[in-house]
């Protein structure tokens, strides 16, 4: 079940559908609104398929991709192969990742957050803190 508040935020995108796929860096799933997925696929489709690395990337990146819908009751059916990939058991966490949602097994999500030994303040400063970078203004 998608929480009611989140379903309201996604209302404009519900009619278009979503793409659900394996995450690249984490043991979770990524839920893309269809328009976000199409924009990403435009970039991927520009890759030269005669380059082996590009071809391997495309194959792995799109492995397990499923077109899904959120039904009128706010339910999202997650295909069994993706449930297995994300090691989802009973409780699922939905985490916002800017323009997509991540779906995690609750225990794995909490472990990933706890395992982040990186000093988040230092990371935030490195990634976002360059006061001289005009592109962030």
- Mean pLDDT, to the nearest integer, of 18-37? 93
Mean of per-residue pLDDT scores for the chain: 85
- Who has greater pLDDT, 4 or 16? 16
Q: What is the pLDDT of residue 123?
A: 74
CA 41/CA 38 separation, integer angstroms: 5
d(CA 39, CA 109): 27
Note the pLDDT of residue 131: 57
For the whole prediction, is pTM greater than 0.95? no
Using the predicted structure, report yes or no on whether residue 109 has a pLDDT greater than 50. yes
Could you tell me the domains of the chain? 4-136 (3.40.1550.20)
Task: Report d(CA 101, CA 45) in Å as an integer.
Answer: 23
Q: Which residue has the higher pLDDT, 105 or 76?
A: 105
Eight-class DSSP state of 65:
-
CA-to-CA distance for 93 and 100, rounded, in angstroms?
14
In this predicted structure, the answer to whether residue 113 has a pLDDT above a threshold of 70 is yes
For residues 87-103, average pLDDT: 90
Q: What is the DSSP letter of 76?
A: B
Q: Record the tokens describing residue 51, joined without a space.
A: 């380059």
Give me 9's structure tokens: 């935020």
Catalogue the E-assigned strands of the chain.
Answer: 18-22, 29-33, 66-68, 92-97, 100-105
Q: What does the pLDDT look like over 74-92, one tens digit per residue?
A: 888 999 999 999 999 989 9
């Amino acid at each position: 079940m998608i929480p009611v508040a989140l379903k309201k935020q996604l209302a404009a995108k519900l009619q278009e559908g979503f793409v659900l796929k394996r995450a690249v860096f984490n043991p979770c799933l990524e839920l893309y609104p269809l328009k976000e997925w199409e924009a990403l696929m435009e970039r991927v489709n520009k890759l030269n398929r005669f380059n082996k690395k590009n071809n391997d990337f495309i194959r792995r990146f799109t492995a397990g991709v499923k077109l899904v819908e959120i039904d009128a009751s706010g339910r999202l059916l997650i295909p069994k192969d993706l449930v297995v990939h994300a090691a989802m058991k009973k409780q699922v966490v939905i985490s916002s990742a800017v323009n997509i949602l991540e779906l995690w097994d609750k225990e794995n999500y909490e472990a990933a957050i706890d395992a982040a030994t990186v000093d988040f303040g230092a990371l935030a400063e490195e990634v976002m803190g360059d006061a001289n970078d005009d592109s962030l203004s």
